[in-house]
Amino acid sequence: MFFDLDGMKFKTLPAQVAYVNKRYGIRTTLSDHIGRNHTLDSLVRERCPGLHFTRDEFYGDLAENFLTSVDWHKDVPPMDGMTAIAPLLAEKYTLMTVTARQKSGIDVIKYLLDAHIPKCISEIHCVYEKAADGTFKETSKKDFILSVSGEKIAFFDDTPEEIISMGDTVPSYLYDPDGLHHGMTGITNRVHSWWHIGEIFL
């Protein structure tokens, strides 16, 4: 079984909003950020018209000062039911984390997993890995899952695009606890909570 990290296992968005607000001296709210994960730099650019930075500079800063910072992740809570259900699933299946976070932040990912669901996750796959020359090597969640042997039971993610791009690689479930994507078509499987995941797979 494959699980996304941010917004799936942990409620990391409030910490990221707090970081961005502090770093750029702005006052964005949680709702400004919902659904904007891939255009976070443009949101900050809108709020800081006098400030000039490239997309690479923006995400470089985020990686260096937020994604690798245990301090910024100390108060990040698990999603409701996650710490109850994940250990039970781990008794029955092999669980892996698949995340669009960069590999440079893997210690923070391990910190969160060890703090809340120790010994449950067998492997962590980060989509982006920075090479020595500064370029990024990208191995998508889909390519990683295709490379794993054994029966693939399920993939869970809170981003509809991730579910759609998985195609028929693995049965994929949109985790949508707040019903943000209720009206969206083209998604076959949905779960509304970790308790719901438990009902289906335990």
Which residues would be at the binding site for Mg ion (CB under 5 A)? 4, 6-7, 158
CB of 150 to Mg ion, least distance (A): 24
**Residue with smaller CB distance to Mg ion, 22 or 38:** 38
- Alpha carbons 141 and 139: distance in angstroms, whole number: 7
Residues in the chain, overall count: 202
Segments in the chain forming alpha helices (H)? 13-24, 30-33, 40-47, 55-62, 70-73, 82-92, 106-116, 141-147, 160-165, 194-201
Give backbone dihedrals phi and psi of 154, rounded to 5 degrees, phi first.
-165, 155
CB of 52 to Mg ion, least distance (A): 29
**Residue with smaller CB distance to Mg ion, 53 or 144:** 144
**Residue with smaller CB distance to Mg ion, 100 or 120:** 100
**Residue with smaller CB distance to Mg ion, 7 or 105:** 7
**Residue with smaller CB distance to Mg ion, 53 or 193:** 193
CB of 64 to Mg ion, least distance (A): 21
CB of 187 to Mg ion, least distance (A): 15
The residue nearest Mg ion at its CB is 7
CB of 9 to Mg ion, least distance (A): 9
| Distances 190 to 62, 101, 175, 194, 195 between C-alpha atoms, Å | 31, 23, 6, 11, 13
- Alpha carbons 80 and 187: distance in angstroms, whole number: 23
DSSP of 92-109: HS-EEEEEEEEGGGHHHH
